[in-house]
Amino acid sequence: MVPALAVADRLRASGAEVQFVGADRAEVQLVPAAGYRLHRLVLKPLPRDSPFGAVRALAIDTAAVAAAAALLARLRPRAVFGGGGYAAAPVGLASALMRVPLVIAEIDGHLGLANRMLAPVARRVCTALPLPGHTGPKFVITGRPIPQLPNDRAAARARFGVAASETLVLVFGGSQGARSINQAAIAAFAQGSFRVLHAAGDRDLPGLTAPRAGYDLRGYVDGLMEAIVACDLAVARAGGSIWELAAAGRPSLLIPYPHAAGDHQSVNARYMERAGAARVIADSDLTPELLRAEVDGLLADPARLAAMGRAALGLARPHAAAVIASEVLAAAGLGGSVGSGAHIAELEP
């Protein structure tokens, strides 16, 4: 939802009216909280391990195309923007049937199933990074939309009680945490003079214990963007957060989630590593000893950390949300103009 909301905010700032279409996941809380109307469809993701379940889900989602067409007929949007998740597929297909211009975005290192379905009928496909086999005028590399980064690093560090002279290592996985990283980090950093801020996820937190003073173990870090700005080094998965790390100019040690769809986290991580912005450890190779050796080696070399930070900034695309919003407005026939009062339907990613 973070990229979709960032684009929606840019569209709204241009004068467009934006409404969301989604299902029953995070959008139910996040979209109204951001001040947008949410239209909900009855949808079911396609299970990959149950033929019967796939047939049932396909029937439900096929019916959702008709429901989406009826919704679009009522809303009469000038354009539709799809963020890539399963909810985007029926509404994107309905927009194609009704000849409503469609723009889609892929925030990972490969086109997901919904975007593979919609790419042939989309006016524009916005991608976070170059995707082999997907080139031409329809495809534009925009980066991943992110919220506005805090611009006061001293204030961000003060929020987490980190002094200017201290070193902060930030550890986090996805929204649910990352069990292999959680276990390795707590063992690896049981000794040390540097500070650790560790977002372990609420699922694993009850079974974990902070190993020492200066080790701030939490289920969830409210204000992760501030934590990224505040840290000196991040240890993380390699999902969409690589773009926040890049925009903040933070060096990172990335451990891609090995079961991500299309292995896109490995694609993300190697993209960062090739540019010199990150070091990569395969999840299968992760041990406390290797993690501590890698972190110690990086922290002992300030010049290398600084170079990695500069390389990360070189990959950053902080204006991705604005670029994608301009593509949506152009598809709507508005040429990216502001103050148009256009009506845009946005699909839950």
Q: What is the full DSSP assignment across 250-310? A: --EEE---TTSGGGHHHHHHHHHHHTTSEEE--GGG--HHHHHHHHHHHHT-HHHHHHHHH
Please write the tens of the pLDDT for every residue from 92-138: 999 999 999 999 999 887 788 889 999 999 999 999 888 888 888 89
Please write the tens of the pLDDT for every residue from 47-60: 666 666 666 766 77
Please write the tens of the pLDDT for every residue from 136-155: 889 999 988 988 888 999 99
Kindly tell me if the per-residue pLDDT of 242 is higher than 60. yes
Task: Determine phi and psi for 216, rounding to 5 degrees.
Answer: -95, 100
Report percent pLDDT > 70 for the chain. 91
Task: Determine phi and psi for 10, rounding to 5 degrees.
Answer: -65, -40
Encode 57-73: b = buried (16+ Cβ within 10 Å), e = exposed.
beebbeebbebbbebbe
Please write the tens of the pLDDT for every residue from 273-307: 999 999 999 999 999 999 999 999 999 999 999 99
pLDDT, greater one: 42 or 308: 308
- Supply the pTM of this predicted model: 0.80
- Ordered by where they begin, the domains of the chain are 2-146+318-347 (3.40.50.2000), 153-315 (3.40.50.2000)
Whole-number pLDDT of residue 174: 75
pLDDT, greater one: 52 or 169: 169
Q: How far apart are CA 95 and CA 89, in angstroms?
A: 10
Average pLDDT over residues 150-167: 95
User: Mean pLDDT over all residues of the chain?
Assistant: 90
Q: How far apart are CA 49 and CA 54, in angstroms?
A: 8
